[in-house]
Amino acid sequence: MQLDKSGTTYPLSYRAAFLHPTRERLPGLRQRTAFLVRPGDALAAATSEARLLVAGADEIELSNDEERDALVLDRWLEGAVSA
């Protein structure tokens, strides 16, 4: 249904994402960064690759347990854990 509503503008967001120079820009991040991935995520390999481009970035594998994931993210935000 949402795809139907977007009509001809649907591909615009994808075009913008693919045109952005991600590999060139990620190494410039200077803030503490976490890349989140779920088991079976189709973008897991790309997420791991992106993490390697950011000095000191963490990769956090989430589960399907929202409470557990919330605790993991809270601890990361508090600086208590490095994934």
pTM of the model: 0.73
55-64 confidence digits (pLDDT tens):
999 999 999 8
Which DSSP string corresponds to 24-71?
Answer: HHGGG--S--EEEE-TT-TTHHHHHHHHHTSTT-EEEE--S-HHHHHH
pLDDT band of 3, cuts 50, 70, 90: low
pLDDT band of 16, cuts 50, 70, 90: confident
Among 26, 36, 27, which residue's Cα sits nearest to residue 69? Answer: 36
42-75 confidence digits (pLDDT tens):
889 999 999 999 999 999 999 989 999 999 999 9
